Amino acid sequence: MSAIDDLFADLRKTGRKAFMPFVTAGDPDLRFTADLIRRLVERGSSMCEVGIPYSDPIADGPVIQASYSRALDREIKLAEILRMLRGVTPELSAPVVTMLSYAIVYRRGPEAYVREAKAAGLAGLIVPDLPVEEAAPLAEACRREDLSLIQLITPTTPHDRALRIAERTTGFIYYVSVTGITGERTELPRELVANVAQLRRETALPICIGFGISRPEHVRLLAPVADGLIVGSAIVRRVAEAGTKPREQVLTEIGEYVSSLLAAMEP
């Protein structure tokens, strides 16, 4: 049982859903990232997803792309990010996962990266550009360290392939709500609820929905069918304002925004 398995077991006992904010490591700097993670958990986030900046976007929209560019322009290093997380995770009541390109894992070596992630207090990895056909070495390394390997299913994933992904996934399935890139949207696809309901009939894994979620009405629509919701671009956009506002003000504003979404998750 990983920390993520324990989290969803506890949530199910009380009928609650997971709220998972996404933040970019090192934007505007790692001290702010650490403070933001703390604030998000204090506000009631169930889990935090930390993006490891990478130069080649995978499915990232312009807001997250820009945050990665800002962090990379400051020459942020993976070792520095893991060191920051190692200092923060012991303080938290919520697990932390990283989203990163498989190129970063490959350069380190799957076993070496997983050991470093475990030492940093991480509970899982999201590797969106890792094909399920090539996931076995990383999945085995994660299994040995009780880390979850979270994989993505999209609206265009063929049915048989979605089932293979679900079989290889641990922790939870990351269900991409829209066809395309990350980013805030005014409306979500009408078929989204039905798609997730269909997937739920075919897997016992928790299903968390991400991409495009930014408003309380999105949360109210999706919370009944999902086990968790992931919010990224709307938070990263607010972080971008840290350069023009006092940092405590930005942290407070993001905390209030997250609280509004958490309130919408209440039954």
For residue 267, being part of any structural domain is answered with no
For residue 264, being part of any structural domain is answered with no
For residue 164, being part of any structural domain is answered with yes
Per-residue pLDDT, 190: 63
Per-residue pLDDT, 211: 76
What predicted TM-score, i.e. pTM, was given to this entire model? 0.92
Task: Give the residue numbers spanning the domain of 109.
Answer: 3-258
Q: In the block, which residue shows the tokens 């890792």?
A: 130
Catalytic residue among 6, 10, 42, 49: 49
> For the domain that residue 213 is a member of, what is the CATH number?
3.20.20.70
Per-residue pLDDT, 181: 41
For residue 217, being part of any structural domain is answered with yes
**CA distance from start to end of the chain:** 28
For residue 266, being part of any structural domain is answered with no
Q: 97 near 148, Cβ under 8 Å? A: yes
Side chain identity at residue 171, one-letter code: G
For residue 136, being part of any structural domain is answered with yes
What contacts 227, CB < 8 A, 6 or more positions away?
Answer: 8, 11, 12, 17, 18, 172, 206, 207, 208
60 is catalytic: yes
CA angle 167, 172, 175 (to 5 degrees): 90
Mean pLDDT by 10 residues, the chain (267 residues): 93 95 96 97 97 78 88 95 98 97 94 97 96 94 96 90 93 80 47 83 93 85 89 91 85 95 89
Per-residue pLDDT, 266: 83
In the chain, the number of structural domains is: 1
Separation of alpha carbons 129 and 145, rounded Å = 22
Per-residue pLDDT, 195: 84
Catalytic residue among 60, 80, 160, 253: 60
Q: Which of 213, 177, 182 is nearest to 67 (CA)?
A: 182
Dihedral over alpha carbons 119, 123, 128, 130 (to 10 degrees):
60
The torsion region of residue 197 among left (phi > 0), alpha (psi -120 to 50) and beta comes to alpha
- 124-126/148-150 β-pairing: parallel
Per-residue pLDDT, 58: 66
For residue 50, being part of any structural domain is answered with yes
Per-residue pLDDT, 54: 92
For residue 265, being part of any structural domain is answered with no
Separation of alpha carbons 222 and 123, rounded Å = 25
Q: 145 near 124, Cβ under 8 Å? A: no
- 148-150/152-153 β-pairing: unpaired
